[in-house]
């Protein structure tokens, strides 16, 4: 049985920064992403759960992902 103790929507449970793997919540993940100029996957999943085609998690790719998925929802 899965022991999910955090609301995180990231499916990479093997990541050492995943909130289920320590007691520091989202801080380590957000800190790492900010340092790398990226956005955590949970923000992408807020727009669309299917992030399988993403190659990177940069701010630019988030904007593109948002615009693409916003357009698809209004068509």
Over the chain (75 residues), what is each successive 10-residue block's mean pLDDT?
68 92 94 96 94 95 95 60
Sign of CA dihedral 18, 20, 22, 23: positive
- In whole angstroms, give the CA distance from residue 63 to residue 70: 10
Asked if 19 contacts 41 with a C-beta cutoff of 8 angstroms, the reply is no
Are 18 and 10 in contact, with CB atoms under 8 Å apart?
yes
The predicted structure's pLDDT at residue 72: 63
Give residue 7's pLDDT: 81
């Amino acid at each position: 049985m899965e022991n999910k103790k955090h609301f995180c929507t990231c499916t990479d449970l093997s990541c050492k920064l995943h909130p289920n793997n320590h007691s520091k919540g989202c801080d380590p993940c957000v800190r790492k992403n900010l340092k790398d100029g990226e956005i955590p996957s949970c923000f992408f999943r807020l727009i669309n759960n299917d992030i399988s085609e993403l190659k990177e998690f940069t701010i630019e790719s988030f904007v593109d992902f948002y615009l693409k998925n916003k357009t698809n929802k209004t068509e």
